[in-house]
Structure 1
Amino acid sequence: MDFEFNDSFLCFHPSFLDKKCTLCNLPIIACGNGLITTPLSYIHPNLALTLEEVDRVRDDNLRHLLQSKKLHLVLDLDHTLIDSRLTKNVTLEEKQRLTCTKDVYNMLSCRYVKLRPGVREFIKQVSSMFDLSIYTMADKVYAQEVRGLLESKAGFPRLSWVIAKQDCTKYRQKRMDVVLSHERVVLIVDDTKNIWGDFCTENLVKINRYEFFPIKEQQEEEIDTELARVFGVLKMVHDKFYDVDFEVEDEVVFGTRDVR
């Protein structure tokens, strides 16, 4: 049933789908001059929210996080949780070695993906303290496939958002403007600091780069404790944020607690 407006209705045009207001159905050009919106194509290809609506959503998210005593963790993919290589770039000798290597998967018959050592335990541990999102400069289709692999093989949460390079608002740069949590409750794990520019450096926990490919001729058992090290940092920040005196009260919900 169509929504009927009366003369007293005043639409604030909070969000737009296919360039039409989701409340009053007016085209965006008719909703006022100087209207600034943020595209959220990872949620819907043609969705955009006003800056005011983004803040409102972040406030709701903040209440949810505080009530569940969680924070928001944004994770990179390549060289952070996995390493990968196109099958056409893997030699026959390397393919033979892969047959006896654990945690290597052939994705879509065109790419090998290697899970980083410790990724299962890391995901299990952080999932109890954080809402998880993926933010990668990889292509959206590839990112969704890797997320599906992490879901089935490593227990990654099924309903987590995946932000890919097509969803960025600035070319070749990750920014927090498309993340629907306030910066003060967001932690980032990424092997590349420069990709964030001058933004969110205080939110970033840098992880050492993981490289499995190309495969060494004498591949030894991997010793990589980076995810365990990073988890220790994340847990410390989480525990300090939610100390023993924490209570979810009105003055705390919009208080001064900050992961930075």
Structure 2
Amino acid sequence: MAEEDYAKQIAKILESDKVRFSSVIYGEYRSKVHGKSLDNVLSHQRVVLIVEDKAEVWVTEDRGNVIKIKPYTFFNKEGANVSDNEDQELARIWSILKTIHTKFFDKKNENYYDSKDVRQLLRKS
């Protein structure tokens, strides 16, 4: 349910020379009736990963594409700012994305891209 600017900034942080985001889906893509859906993305389910803190906001058939991220806590229980050094969640997500990207684009099996599925790679990681 993130705002567009926030979602795009997080994507920029996670991008590298090997990981790029062609689309960033944010709060406005959510249907009030059904939930977020990959129907809004011009791509096949087998090549799309979703980083989300609430998998249940996605329609059932797209939940296999979700990499669950811990919600970011801006303040601790006492109301003090949480140090950026304490939260390693983006590093964890980046590691997962990098691993899946490496396996998906493995040069030894490049003739088999049409049969690869990031959802299977995600389940194994």
Q: TM over 0.5: same fold?
A: yes
- Change in Cα spacing, 1:186 to 1:120, as seen in structure 2 (3 Å) is closer
Q: Percent identity of the aligned residues?
A: 32
Please state how far the C-alpha of 1:183 moved relative to its aligned partner.
0.6
Please state how far the C-alpha of 1:238 moved relative to its aligned partner.
1.0
Superposition RMSD in Å:
3.3
Scaled by the length of structure 2, what TM-score is found?
0.71
- Change in Cα spacing, 1:208 to 1:220, as seen in structure 2 (3 Å) is closer
Does residue 131 in structure 1 map to residue 21 in structure 2? yes
- Change in Cα spacing, 1:239 to 1:216, as seen in structure 2 (3 Å) is same
2:107 counterpart SS class: coil
CA contact (8 A) 1:122 1:231 kept: no
Larger Rg, first or second structure (1 or 2): 1
1:171 counterpart SS class: coil
Please state how far the C-alpha of 1:229 moved relative to its aligned partner.
0.3
In terms of fraction of residues, the more strand-rich structure is 1
1:189 counterpart SS class: strand
Does residue 185 in structure 1 map to residue 47 in structure 2? yes
Scaled by the length of structure 1, what TM-score is found?
0.38
2:105 is matched with which residue? 242
- How many angstroms apart in 2 are the aligned matches of 1:120 and 1:179? 16
1:235 counterpart SS class: helix
**Partner amino acid for 1:219?**
N
In terms of fraction of residues, the more helix-rich structure is 2
Structure 1 unaligned regions, length at least 5? 1-75, 83-114, 138-163
Aligned length: 116
- Change in Cα spacing, 1:77 to 1:186, as seen in structure 2 (3 Å) is same
1:7 is matched with which residue? none
Please state how far the C-alpha of 1:128 moved relative to its aligned partner.
3.4
1:69 is matched with which residue? none
- Change in Cα spacing, 1:124 to 1:220, as seen in structure 2 (3 Å) is same
- Change in Cα spacing, 1:134 to 1:259, as seen in structure 2 (3 Å) is same
What pairs up with 1:186-201 in 2 under 5 angstroms? 186-201=48-63
